[in-house]
C-alpha cells in the first residue's frame, strides 16, 4: 500500500503545532502567574504604605489634640481654679438676706438679696462657654465634666433671673417688723437655689483639682469653702 508523502508532512506539522501550542500555553501560564505575583507584592506594598500614612496622620491628629488641650488648660486654669470660691461668695450671704418662716419668705436685706441674684445671673464659666466647641480636645476625664459644669452654671443663671423678677414691693408686716419687699414665688425656690449652689460648689472643687493636676500645678485646698 503506497504512503502519501504529503499526508506524512502534514502529520509532522500538526505534531509540531501541538508542541508549540503546549509551550505557548505553559509560557502564558507562567507569565500570568508572574504578573499575578508582582501585582500581589505591589498590592501588599501599597497596603503597607497606606497603613504607614494612616498611622502618621493619626499621630499628627493626637499630637495636635494634645497641643490644643494644653492651650485650653492654660486658658481656663484661673477660671476653673477660682470657681469654688466664686460660688461660695454667692451662696454664703443668702441666710442673711432672706428667711423662710412658716412657709413665708421674709426678705431681711433687699439690697443684699438683689446683689446675690445679680451675681448669680451671670455665667460662672464664661471662658469655658466661649470654647465649648473645643473642649473635646481635653482628656475624656475632663471634657464631659466641664460640659456638666457649664450646664450647672446655666441652671444657676436661669434660677437667679426668675427669682429676681419675683421680688416685689410690699407694705405688709410680719412678726412686728416692717418688710418692704415680698417674694411672689414659692418659698421652696430658695431651698432649691441653695441646694443647687451647694452641689455646684462641690462638683467644681473636685473638678478644679483634677484640672489643676492635668495642667501641672499643685492641688488647692478648697475645704475652707465647704
- pLDDT for 159-213, tens place per residue? 999 999 999 987 655 555 557 899 999 999 999 999 999 999 999 999 999 999 9
For residue 131, being part of any structural domain is answered with yes
For residue 1, being part of any structural domain is answered with no
For residue 7, being part of any structural domain is answered with no
CA-CA-CA-CA torsion sign (48, 54, 60, 65): negative
pLDDT over threshold 60, residue 21: no
27-44: average pLDDT? 68
For residue 134, being part of any structural domain is answered with yes
pLDDT in tens, 81-114: 999 999 999 999 999 999 999 988 999 999 999 9
Label residues 142-179 b or e (16+ Cβ within 10 Å = b). Answer: beebbeebbebbeebeebbeebeeebeeeeeeeeeeeb
For residue 37, being part of any structural domain is answered with no
pLDDT over threshold 60, residue 124: yes
Q: Which single residue is written with the C-alpha cell 508549540?
A: 20
pLDDT number for residue 41: 74
For residue 155, being part of any structural domain is answered with yes
pLDDT over threshold 70, residue 119: yes
Lowest-pLDDT range of 115-119, 120-124, 135-139: 135-139
pLDDT number for residue 39: 72
For residue 6, being part of any structural domain is answered with no
For residue 129, being part of any structural domain is answered with yes
Total domains present in the chain:
1
**Residue 140, C-beta contacts closer than 8 angstroms, at least 6 positions apart:** none
Domain holding 113, by residue range, is 77-225
Summary mean pLDDT of the chain: 83
pLDDT number for residue 42: 73
pLDDT number for residue 35: 64
pLDDT number for residue 204: 97
**Cβ distance 151 to 132 under 8 Å?**
no
Amino acid at each position: 500500500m503506497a504512503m502519501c508523502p504529503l499526508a506524512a508532512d502534514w502529520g509532522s506539522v500538526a505534531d509540531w503545532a501541538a508542541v508549540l501550542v503546549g509551550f505557548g500555553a505553559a509560557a502564558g501560564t507562567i507569565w500570568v502567574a508572574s504578573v499575578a505575583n508582582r501585582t500581589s507584592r505591589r498590592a501588599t506594598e501599597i497596603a503597607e504604605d497606606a497603613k504607614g500614612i494612616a498611622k502618621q496622620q493619626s499621630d499628627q491628629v493626637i499630637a495636635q489634640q494634645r497641643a490644643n488641650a494644653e492651650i485650653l488648660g492654660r486658658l481656663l486654669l484661673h477660671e476653673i481654679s477660682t470657681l469654688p470660691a466664686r460660688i461660695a461668695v454667692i451662696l454664703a450671704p443668702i441666710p442673711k438676706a432672706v428667711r423662710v418662716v412658716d412657709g413665708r419668705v421674709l426678705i431681711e436685706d433687699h439690697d443684699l438679696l438683689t446683689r446675690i441674684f445679680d451675681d448669680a445671673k451671670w455665667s460662672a464659666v464664661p471662658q469655658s462657654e466661649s470654647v465649648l466647641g473645643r473642649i473635646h480636645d481635653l482628656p475624656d476625664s475632663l471634657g464631659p465634666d466641664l460640659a456638666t459644669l457649664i450646664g450647672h452654671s446655666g441652671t444657676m443663671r436661669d434660677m437667679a433671673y426668675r427669682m429676681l423678677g419675683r421680688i416685689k414691693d410690699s407694705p405688709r408686716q410680719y412678726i412686728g417688723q416692717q418688710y418692704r419687699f415680698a417674694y411672689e414665688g414659692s418659698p421652696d425656690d430658695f431651698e432649691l437655689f441653695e441646694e443647687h449652689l451647694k452641689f455646684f460648689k462641690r462638683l467644681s472643687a473636685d473638678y478644679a483639682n483634677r484640672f489643676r493636676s492635668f495642667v501641672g500645678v499643685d492641688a488647692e485646698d478648697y475645704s475652707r469653702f465647704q
